[in-house]
Structure 1
Amino acid sequence: MSIDTDLLMHLQKLANITLKTEEIEKIKDNLNEIINFIENINNLDLEDIPTFFSQRTTALTMRDDIPINNPRVAQDILKNAPKSENNFFIVPKIIE
Protein backbone atom coordinates (compact mmCIF):
# COMPACT_ATOMS: atom_id res chain seq x y z
CA MET A 1 0.00 0.00 0.00
CA SER A 2 1.16 3.52 -0.66
CA ILE A 3 -0.22 6.99 -0.11
CA ASP A 4 -0.85 8.93 -3.29
CA THR A 5 -2.11 12.49 -3.62
CA ASP A 6 -5.77 11.45 -4.01
CA LEU A 7 -5.68 9.36 -0.82
CA LEU A 8 -3.91 12.15 1.06
CA MET A 9 -6.57 14.65 -0.04
CA HIS A 10 -9.26 12.21 1.12
CA LEU A 11 -7.51 11.83 4.49
CA GLN A 12 -7.23 15.60 4.74
CA LYS A 13 -10.98 15.91 4.26
CA LEU A 14 -11.73 13.15 6.80
CA ALA A 15 -9.40 14.71 9.39
CA ASN A 16 -10.87 18.16 8.71
CA ILE A 17 -7.41 19.69 8.32
CA THR A 18 -5.86 21.92 5.69
CA LEU A 19 -2.51 21.02 4.21
CA LYS A 20 -0.32 23.56 2.48
CA THR A 21 0.63 22.70 -1.08
CA GLU A 22 4.33 22.66 -0.24
CA GLU A 23 3.71 20.18 2.62
CA ILE A 24 1.89 17.55 0.55
CA GLU A 25 4.96 15.77 -0.90
CA LYS A 26 6.76 15.70 2.44
CA ILE A 27 3.70 14.32 4.24
CA LYS A 28 3.19 11.67 1.53
CA ASP A 29 6.83 10.59 1.90
CA ASN A 30 6.54 10.43 5.69
CA LEU A 31 3.32 8.40 5.59
CA ASN A 32 4.76 6.02 3.00
CA GLU A 33 7.84 5.53 5.19
CA ILE A 34 5.60 4.65 8.16
CA ILE A 35 3.59 2.20 6.04
CA ASN A 36 6.77 0.55 4.75
CA PHE A 37 8.02 0.15 8.32
CA ILE A 38 4.77 -1.50 9.37
CA GLU A 39 4.87 -3.78 6.34
CA ASN A 40 8.37 -4.87 7.39
CA ILE A 41 7.02 -5.78 10.82
CA ASN A 42 4.25 -7.79 9.19
CA ASN A 43 6.87 -9.81 7.28
CA LEU A 44 8.67 -10.98 10.44
CA ASP A 45 8.54 -14.66 11.33
CA LEU A 46 6.97 -14.75 14.78
CA GLU A 47 5.85 -18.38 14.89
CA ASP A 48 8.28 -19.41 17.67
CA ILE A 49 7.55 -16.41 19.88
CA PRO A 50 4.84 -16.85 22.53
CA THR A 51 1.83 -14.60 22.14
CA PHE A 52 2.21 -13.26 25.69
CA PHE A 53 5.52 -12.26 27.20
CA SER A 54 6.11 -10.35 30.39
CA GLN A 55 9.11 -9.61 32.60
CA ARG A 56 6.92 -9.76 35.69
CA THR A 57 7.08 -13.17 37.31
CA THR A 58 5.06 -12.39 40.43
CA ALA A 59 1.38 -11.66 40.73
CA LEU A 60 0.17 -8.21 41.60
CA THR A 61 -0.57 -7.77 45.25
CA MET A 62 -4.14 -6.83 45.90
CA ARG A 63 -5.32 -4.62 48.70
CA ASP A 64 -8.65 -4.87 50.45
CA ASP A 65 -11.22 -2.50 49.02
CA ILE A 66 -12.43 -0.87 52.23
CA PRO A 67 -14.55 2.28 51.96
CA ILE A 68 -13.45 5.06 54.30
CA ASN A 69 -15.82 7.83 55.27
CA ASN A 70 -13.77 10.93 55.94
CA PRO A 71 -15.92 14.10 56.06
CA ARG A 72 -12.81 16.28 55.91
CA VAL A 73 -12.18 15.19 52.31
CA ALA A 74 -15.61 16.47 51.26
CA GLN A 75 -15.02 19.73 53.13
CA ASP A 76 -11.65 20.21 51.41
CA ILE A 77 -13.22 19.62 48.01
CA LEU A 78 -16.17 21.92 48.67
CA LYS A 79 -13.79 24.74 49.70
CA ASN A 80 -12.83 25.00 46.02
CA ALA A 81 -16.42 25.16 44.76
CA PRO A 82 -17.82 28.56 43.76
CA LYS A 83 -21.06 27.72 45.58
CA SER A 84 -22.01 24.94 47.97
CA GLU A 85 -24.76 24.20 50.45
CA ASN A 86 -25.27 21.26 52.87
CA ASN A 87 -22.21 19.41 51.49
CA PHE A 88 -23.46 19.68 47.87
CA PHE A 89 -22.23 21.70 44.91
CA ILE A 90 -24.63 24.41 43.75
CA VAL A 91 -24.67 24.54 39.96
CA PRO A 92 -26.83 26.52 37.51
CA LYS A 93 -30.02 24.85 36.40
CA ILE A 94 -29.66 23.59 32.82
CA ILE A 95 -32.92 21.68 32.32
CA GLU A 96 -36.22 23.48 32.53
Structure 2
Amino acid sequence: MKIDNDLLKKLETLSSLKIDENKREGTIAQLSEIVEFVENLNELDLDNEEATFTTVAGGTPMREDIPNVNPDVVKTILSNAPQSENGFFVVPKIIE
Protein backbone atom coordinates (compact mmCIF):
# COMPACT_ATOMS: atom_id res chain seq x y z
CA MET A 1 0.00 0.00 0.00
CA LYS A 2 1.41 3.36 -1.00
CA ILE A 3 0.75 6.37 1.18
CA ASP A 4 0.19 9.48 -0.91
CA ASN A 5 -1.38 12.89 -0.36
CA ASP A 6 -4.89 11.68 -1.30
CA LEU A 7 -4.76 8.86 1.23
CA LEU A 8 -3.40 11.25 3.85
CA LYS A 9 -6.38 13.56 3.24
CA LYS A 10 -8.75 10.60 3.78
CA LEU A 11 -6.92 9.67 6.98
CA GLU A 12 -7.20 13.27 8.18
CA THR A 13 -10.94 13.19 7.61
CA LEU A 14 -11.38 9.83 9.34
CA SER A 15 -9.27 10.82 12.34
CA SER A 16 -10.62 14.39 12.56
CA LEU A 17 -7.05 15.68 12.53
CA LYS A 18 -5.45 18.46 10.53
CA ILE A 19 -1.82 18.05 9.47
CA ASP A 20 0.13 21.23 8.70
CA GLU A 21 1.35 21.60 5.14
CA ASN A 22 4.99 21.73 6.26
CA LYS A 23 4.62 18.38 8.09
CA ARG A 24 2.77 16.46 5.37
CA GLU A 25 5.85 14.97 3.68
CA GLY A 26 7.30 13.81 7.01
CA THR A 27 3.99 12.27 8.03
CA ILE A 28 3.71 10.45 4.70
CA ALA A 29 7.24 9.10 5.14
CA GLN A 30 6.53 7.91 8.69
CA LEU A 31 3.25 6.25 7.71
CA SER A 32 4.97 4.57 4.76
CA GLU A 33 7.60 3.09 7.10
CA ILE A 34 4.88 1.76 9.40
CA VAL A 35 2.98 0.16 6.51
CA GLU A 36 6.19 -1.41 5.15
CA PHE A 37 6.94 -2.91 8.57
CA VAL A 38 3.44 -4.37 8.86
CA GLU A 39 3.64 -5.76 5.33
CA ASN A 40 6.85 -7.59 6.33
CA LEU A 41 4.75 -9.57 8.81
CA ASN A 42 2.84 -11.09 5.87
CA GLU A 43 6.07 -12.82 4.79
CA LEU A 44 6.24 -14.91 7.98
CA ASP A 45 5.45 -18.62 7.58
CA LEU A 46 2.99 -19.32 10.38
CA ASP A 47 1.38 -22.48 8.99
CA ASN A 48 2.95 -24.69 11.67
CA GLU A 49 2.31 -22.28 14.53
CA GLU A 50 -0.58 -22.55 16.94
CA ALA A 51 -2.88 -19.56 17.24
CA THR A 52 -2.49 -19.50 21.02
CA PHE A 53 0.07 -20.69 23.53
CA THR A 54 0.57 -20.76 27.27
CA THR A 55 3.63 -20.41 29.43
CA VAL A 56 2.05 -22.20 32.37
CA ALA A 57 2.38 -25.98 32.14
CA GLY A 58 -0.77 -27.71 33.32
CA GLY A 59 -3.01 -24.66 33.25
CA THR A 60 -3.59 -21.86 35.69
CA PRO A 61 -3.69 -22.77 39.37
CA MET A 62 -7.03 -21.95 40.96
CA ARG A 63 -7.39 -20.06 44.22
CA GLU A 64 -10.31 -19.45 46.50
CA ASP A 65 -12.00 -16.15 45.72
CA ILE A 66 -12.41 -14.41 49.06
CA PRO A 67 -13.52 -10.76 49.00
CA ASN A 68 -11.53 -8.47 51.29
CA VAL A 69 -13.01 -5.04 52.00
CA ASN A 70 -11.12 -2.64 54.20
CA PRO A 71 -13.39 0.32 55.11
CA ASP A 72 -10.36 2.54 55.83
CA VAL A 73 -9.09 2.10 52.27
CA VAL A 74 -12.52 2.94 50.86
CA LYS A 75 -12.72 6.10 53.02
CA THR A 76 -9.21 7.16 51.98
CA ILE A 77 -9.95 6.72 48.29
CA LEU A 78 -13.32 8.47 48.46
CA SER A 79 -11.80 11.36 50.43
CA ASN A 80 -9.88 12.28 47.26
CA ALA A 81 -13.00 12.19 45.06
CA PRO A 82 -14.69 15.47 44.16
CA GLN A 83 -18.04 13.93 45.08
CA SER A 84 -19.10 10.61 46.63
CA GLU A 85 -22.28 9.11 48.03
CA ASN A 86 -22.97 5.87 49.94
CA GLY A 87 -19.43 4.59 49.38
CA PHE A 88 -19.43 5.24 45.61
CA PHE A 89 -18.03 7.90 43.28
CA VAL A 90 -20.60 10.36 41.92
CA VAL A 91 -19.93 11.22 38.28
CA PRO A 92 -21.78 13.43 35.80
CA LYS A 93 -24.42 11.82 33.66
CA ILE A 94 -23.14 11.41 30.08
CA ILE A 95 -26.07 9.61 28.43
CA GLU A 96 -29.49 11.22 28.30
- Would the TM-score normalized by the shorter structure come out above 0.5? yes
The corresponding residue for 2:25 is 25
Q: Of the two, which has the highest radius of gyration?
A: 1
User: Structure 1 residues 55 and 71 mapped into 2: Cα distance closer, same or farther (>3 Å)?
Assistant: closer
**Residue 13 in structure 1 maps to residue 13 in structure 2:** yes
Q: Which runs of 5+ in 1 are unaligned?
A: none
Q: Percent identity?
A: 42
TM-score by length of 1: 0.67
The corresponding residue for 2:50 is 50
**Residue 67 in structure 1 maps to residue 64 in structure 2:** no
Partners of 1:72 and 1:7 lie apart in 2 by 55
Shift of 1:6: 0.7
Partners of 1:29 and 1:36 lie apart in 2 by 11
User: Structure 1 residues 25 and 80 mapped into 2: Cα distance closer, same or farther (>3 Å)?
Assistant: closer
User: Structure 1 residues 67 and 5 mapped into 2: Cα distance closer, same or farther (>3 Å)?
Assistant: same
